[in-house]
Structure 1
């Protein structure tokens, strides 16, 4: 990345030129996929979109549509704005005015990478708004997004698409991409309750037995093979020994649905930290079976606040694997 020669502001930052417009479309993601804890992630054809236009009036205009429109802020505290500012600063720039339009399709707090999508969209937007000679590559985008999110398992597939295998060396984040077998059909069952990633992580033990770690590493290796070469092995390949059982108490309906689907021979797992359930069907016929099973699944759990049974409702989406990753359309002045 070259060093800019234009005069800089007193803060050491150059202003982004007004009139720049960029649109970023980012896929939803499902991390872990069973045994691939904090290392495997799948891009799904369910997209959030962020449109950014720079102005010279110093004002921020934020229009938010779709998921979170009634609860999320529309000022500098929004994740997209905070991340865009951080990315511009890292590149040696600052904004003056900004118009942002965000359309959220992925549900929040459900384990489909909504925060990763927002982070990736903002960093890619920032990278596209600076001078062409200062625009970084996607490895830089992965690094910054990994730093912001704390781990790369959702941001990697959001950036690159398909199946992303990510890891960390010291402070550096890396990812490799593998092509998913064309017969695989992802189906997500989204429950009507949320679960924070922080709570889900707090339920995990500080250590696991050696035999469990050994078993999990074998299944994670098998899972890469099953997803790319032999989907007939998806059921044994998605067996997890590290995290799902510890989190089941926080998402009892999801745990029951996963158990029922796996008993029927379907590769079902917790999507990310949950509570969404992801099933990886091998072909359209199995996808029909999974979708029917979920739509007919009903489970009631005791609500401790109400002292009564409550029925979980599910939103079932039959998706495709996104094979492109984040898409950026730049409209220069």
Structure 2
């Protein structure tokens, strides 16, 4: 018996659309038990999540090791579904690690990233779920180029509206193209954001997170809480606030000494939402035996 633990992830960080990602301290955990006649994955996440081999975790594992013997598995998850915190990416990464362990695939970190990105479609959520910390990634000719860096010390406050927002719905509001000058502007902002993170300048990075031109101007209409939380952040000295992934989660970066006060203020100001204090998870997927 062993456990597989995968962190939640926050993607984009504003202008780093489909490229930047950050591992955060919420977790999907599998307890992998004895072999069985059929796959069984027990959980209390609701009837919409399969408990047999049609579960995304098992489907992912069997796509890599189709002859793997079935197991009994217990799953718990702190990662809310369809909220922009990488719930499907966590499941994919868990499935890859399940196959890696049970079928002794001897996968490297890069192997896992290449496989996970091929399944998920983008490297922004899956890469930090595998490596931990802050990652930058892009796909060229079906190959993922990625790097990992240490994110500056900061407290993370997530505001999670009750409503779900599926990625396909959130992508539907995006434009098919941007004017060349606007695209150049967005690219330069993202470049500078990455440079600020690598140099440890969280104040500059936080300010740049609020300057996206690729998706937040369009998705903000679907998540009106974003402007509300951002304004509160400005009032309370936060570094920056952005829409996590496709939403609806909103992530605010703030100095640890100001975090508790911001949590209390956000809980009072933003209705029908859950507010949590998190931190950057330095470790990616872990196997605990």
TM-score in terms of structure 1 length: 0.81
Q: 1:257 aligns with which of 217, 225, 229?
A: 229
Figure out how many residues of one structure are paired with residues of the other and give that number.
286
CA distance in 2, matches of 1:101, 1:174: 34
- Partners of 2:150 and 2:274 lie apart in 1 by 27
Q: CA contact under 8 A between 1:139 and 1:174: conserved in structure 2?
A: no
Offset, 1:35:
0.6
Q: For structure 1, which segment, 246-255 or 316-325, has the greater mean C-alpha deviation from structure 2 after superposition?
A: 246-255
The answer for the alignment partner of 1:327 in structure 2 is: 286
In 2, are the aligned partners of 1:23 and 1:125 still within 8 Å (CA)?
no
Tell me if structure 1 keeps the 8 A contact 2:68–2:103. no
Q: Distance in 2 between matches of 1:205 and 1:137?
A: 37
Partner of 2:74: 101
* Structure (1 or 2) with the larger CA radius of gyration: 1
- What does residue 152 of structure 1 align with? 123
Give the 5 Å matches for 1:293-304.
Answer: 293-298=265-270
State which of 163, 170, 179 in structure 2 corresponds to 1:193: 163
TM alignment of 1:129-168, pairs within 5 A: 129-131=102-104, 134-168=105-139
Instruction: Tell me the CA shift for residue 70 of structure 1.
Output: 4.2
Deviation at 1:292, TM superposition (A): 3.3
Q: Does residue 43 of the first structure (1) align with residue 23 of the second (2)?
A: yes
| 2:252 aligned with 1:279 | yes
- Tell whether 2:67 aligns with 1:61: no
Deviation digits for residues 238-272 of structure 1 (CA, Å, limit 9, x no counterpart): 11111011112222233433344346653000000
The gaps in structure 1 that reach 5 residues or longer are 1-20, 299-311
The correspondence of residues 164-243 of structure 1 with structure 2, limited to 5 A, is 164-182=135-153, 184-228=154-198, 229-238=200-209, 239-243=211-215
Q: 1:163 to 1:240 in 2, by over 3 A?
A: same
* Distance across 1 between alignment mates of 2:20 and 2:188: 14
Greater share of helix residues, 1 or 2? Answer: 2
Distance in structure 1 (CA, Å) of the matches to 2:167 and 2:234? 24
What TM-score results when the alignment is normalised by the length of structure 2?
A: 0.92
Structure 2: unaligned runs, 5 residues or longer = none
